[in-house]
Amino acid sequence: MYTVRSSADIKATNSRNRKERRNGNSSLGMVRKTVVALTLFMGLLCVPAHAQIRTGTVPNFTGFESNDSFDCRTSTFPGENRLGEIPNTRFHFVLGGSVASSVIVTFVGNWPKPSGSDLPPGSQPAGAILFMEIDDQVVDPVRNGGVLVSDGSTTGVSNGTHGFTFVTEPLPPGTHVVKFFWSNNILVGTGTVCLFQRSIVVQHP
């Protein structure tokens, strides 16, 4: 059986269909917006509590490089000071401008495996934990606990070339002194860490 429909019936049906599609699209849009909002919210929850974003202009840099220094440090824990200043890594830089600015400090070093006379009896080759201070202050709140730049696990002659980039808190204009400290990664016992070539770059206004 065929049903004969008037043009008015057809127009009314088409109008209802368009409204239903609009309503469906609107609902789908709300679902999509909700998903996006939840995704952004979850993304914010995943940001580490100590993560920080800093921005600025770094048109200048001050660099330091040494290819003729070979330094080792042996320390025992517990009992000795865990931190010691790394020789031949201290230098000055001048922060320009008239307002406080963050600077970017990159340290890269070659970490040989201690051996022979560089490895005292009773000590073991160890990894290196790197710390930085500017003007005798910890100015990198994210990595103020140090960063492991070499785990000391090589079976060859070197642990390779490794480093880290620090982003500081805003510093006042003027002359500043950057220093680096190291500790071995032996929790209990005696370990030796050695450093050969090293380069340091401070990017600043």
Whole-angstrom distance, CA of residue 89 vs CA of residue 171: 20
Residue 31, phi-psi category: left (phi > 0), alpha (psi -120 to 50), beta (remainder) = alpha
**Strands 124-125 vs 189-195: parallel, antiparallel or unpaired:** parallel
pLDDT of residue 45: 42
CB of 129 closer than 8 Å to CB of 146? yes
pLDDT digits (tens, 9 = 90+) for 148-161: 999 999 999 999 99
- Overall pTM > 0.85: no
Select the CATH number that applies to the domain covering 60-204 from these four: 3.40.50.720, 1.10.3720.10, 2.60.40.10, 2.60.120.760.
2.60.120.760
